């Protein structure tokens, strides 16, 4: 099914040079790196047929946490391959940061394609101190990261307040605590304005 999915999707995306392909989100249930790697080697050539230079992100075992294991036996058959690391700051602390450091030391290119500043359930209390430690580590290594999630769902990880029904023209007052932290983090990195407003969606 995955092969057929990418055979259907990739031709429609081949004209775009800004598409990143993540081929499996959070392998879990005891899935080994050997199995994940075998799967990746079946999927990557399908994508490469249409996107020979696109970045392809491969998940890692245990909900994309065991990047240290992947670093011992990386994919060498193709270029422009990165490996997913996911964390939730209130749950994943020094032990997972150590895995990150080990993978980087071995030269494994990482992309944090999902993270939150609450616990791993997507709910619970926010831990800004641990979140800030993660961002300091990622910025120190130059690792890109994408925060989960841009929604108004009634849970801690949502970046928009659950009572907000807007679909455009969001302002700072519409942000949840997680959203406020994210915007402030981006501002501190020099990537946002002081008078933050979400832009209007583009016309299709």
Q: Which residues are the active-site residues?
A: 26, 114
- The candidate with the shortest Cα–Cα distance to 112, out of 141, 140, 87, is 87
Judged by phi (left if over 0) then psi (alpha if -120 to 50, else beta), residue 129 lies in alpha
Cα Rg of the chain, angstroms = 18
- The candidate with the shortest Cα–Cα distance to 105, out of 57, 140, 151, is 140
81-88: strand order across its sheet: 21-22, 56-58, 81-88, 110-116, 145-147
Task: Give the integer Cα–Cα distance in Å for 89 and 131.
Answer: 5
What number of CA atoms fall less than 13 Å from residue 112's CA on the CB side? 24
């Amino acid at each position: 099914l995955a092969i057929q999915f990418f055979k259907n999707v990739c031709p429609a995306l081949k004209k775009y040079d800004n598409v990143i392909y993540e081929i499996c989100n959070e392998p879990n249930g005891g899935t080994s790196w050997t199995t994940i790697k075998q799967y990746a080697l079946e999927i990557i050539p399908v994508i490469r047929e249409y996107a020979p230079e696109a970045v392809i992100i491969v998940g890692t075992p245990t909900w994309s946490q065991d990047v240290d294991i992947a670093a011992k036996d990386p994919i060498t058959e193709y270029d422009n391959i990165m490996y997913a690391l996911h964390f939730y700051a209130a749950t994943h602390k020094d032990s997972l940061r150590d895995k990150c450091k080990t993978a980087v030391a071995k030269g494994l290119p990482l992309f944090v394609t999902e993270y939150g500043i609450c616990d791993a359930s997507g709910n619970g209390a926010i831990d800004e101190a641990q979140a800030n430690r993660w961002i300091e580590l990622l910025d120190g290594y130059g690792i890109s990261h994408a925060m989960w999630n841009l929604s108004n769902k009634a849970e801690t990880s949502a970046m928009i307040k659950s009572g907000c029904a807007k679909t455009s023209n969001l302002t700072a007052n519409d942000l949840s605590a997680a959203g406020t932290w994210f915007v402030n983090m981006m501002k501190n990195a020099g990537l946002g304005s002081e008078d933050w407003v979400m832009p209007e969606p583009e016309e299709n």
